[in-house]
Homo-oligomer: A and B are copies of this chain.
Amino acid sequence: SPDQQNRLTMGLFVWFDNSFVLDDKEFAEALGRDEIDGESRIATARLEFNGSYTEDYWYYFRVDFQDNGSGSGDSAVEWAALGFNNLPVVQNLLVGLQMPTYGLDVWANYPRHRLMLEPSLVNAFFHGPLLGITAFDVDMEHKLSWALGIARDTTEEAGTGLQAVDKGEDDYIVHGRFSFLPSYSELGRHMIHLGVSGALIKPQDETLVWGIWPEVYTDDVELYPLAIIDNAKKAMLGVLEFRYVEGPFWMQSDYFYNKTQRDTADDLTFSAFYVEAGYFLTGHQTLFNPLALNGQVLPVPVTNRKLGKWGAWEIQARYSQLDLRSKEFQGGATALGDGAEVTNYTLGLNWFLNQHIKIGINYVHSVREDLDDAKFDVIQTRLAWTL
């Protein structure tokens, strides 16, 4: 740009995934299929533009040419937001297509560098990206941050691929977070984050759908079914957030509580939870933003020391749980559409060859409690590189 105050970064990100099914006998039987196969895919092939006009404005744009979220492999605009800084009352605004601000999971797993290969099962309660406006600020002196947003979810389908469900017209969403950072230093190399966040979701067509994006992927996406609520009045989501970082070690956790009110029936309550942790064997570190937002400052994978001949090595683990069966419907899964109860155990290993290339491998053991504890084992790999 001729304007010297402007800063622009363009990035291309490609993820090449392969999954290998180790044990599909119980799951395949429970789902009425012969077998469940592994899959190869370009999971993402996205272009990002990221920049600022003076100190007062910044933007983030992202288009994925291989959008597996939609199941079609078509291109999709995933972020298109303009940020305003240094405003009189609200301090910072983010306007346009963006992610809402509840839970650490989606923010930690949606940016350039995902902490783990796939989002956890709490993703079942996540709606996004959304069209809206979010105000936020951080007060490092008092170690507080807040965010408050209002948005429309204008997509007319929920779920992914084979499971896509027509959810009708726009949903309206109010979302927000309040966090306390008793400790934060060195760009997040040492930090404790305690947060409460949540959302109020009002469907215009009385349909709400919970449960997308399985933590493992196969040749199909039916592993964890959806809960489709046709007479929904509104849903309230409450989240407790925790993150702890100390040098090469990090851990984080979200607990999601979901109360979905219905027009002519009792309320439904669901929940989801995960705790995950990672440790760099080579002493490297991941940086975190104090805001738990990553539109501006992205969690760069490894930064505090040079990558030597053997790169950086990180081991990871996660315990992840989703309960899509309500007490109101104990034993009556059909009334919930296809709601499920799932627990996943994940072990992971990441090798950062250099600043641009990462090879990740995850072993995932999945248990469907609602299907007589049927078990399923997958190894999934990712070769990720950036321009």
Chain A residues packing against B (C-beta within 8 Å): 1, 3, 8, 12, 14, 16, 18, 37, 39-42, 45, 49, 51, 53-54, 57, 59, 61, 63, 65-66, 74-77, 80, 82, 95-97, 131-132, 152, 154, 169-170, 204, 219, 353-357, 383, 385, 387
Alpha-carbon distance between A131 and B39 when the two chains are bound, in angstroms? 10
| Apart from A16-B96, A57-B354, A59-B387, 11 more pairs, CB < 8 Å | A8-B387, A16-B95, A18-B131, A39-B170, A40-B131, A42-B97, A42-B131, A45-B77, A45-B80, A49-B387, A75-B75
Chain B residues within an 8 Å CB radius of A387: 1, 8, 49, 51, 59, 61
Contact call B12/A57, Cβ cutoff below 8 A: no
Contact call B169/A357, Cβ cutoff below 8 A: no
- From A129, which residue of chain B is reached at the shortest CB distance? B42
Instruction: Decide yes or no: A170 and B16 within 8 Å by CB, A57-B357, A95-B383, A154-B39 being known contacts.
Output: no
Alpha-carbon distance between A353 and B87 when the two chains are bound, in angstroms? 13
- From A16, which residue of chain B is reached at the shortest CB distance? B96
Give which listed residue, B12, B63, B132, B356, contacts A65 with CB less than 8 A. B63
Number of identical protomers? 3
- From A63, which residue of chain B is reached at the shortest CB distance? B65
Contact call B75/A74, Cβ cutoff below 8 A: yes
Chain B: minimal CB distance from A68 (Å)? 11
Contact call B356/A53, Cβ cutoff below 8 A: yes
Chain B residues within an 8 Å CB radius of A355: 3, 53
Alpha-carbon distance between A22 and B373 when the two chains are bound, in angstroms? 54
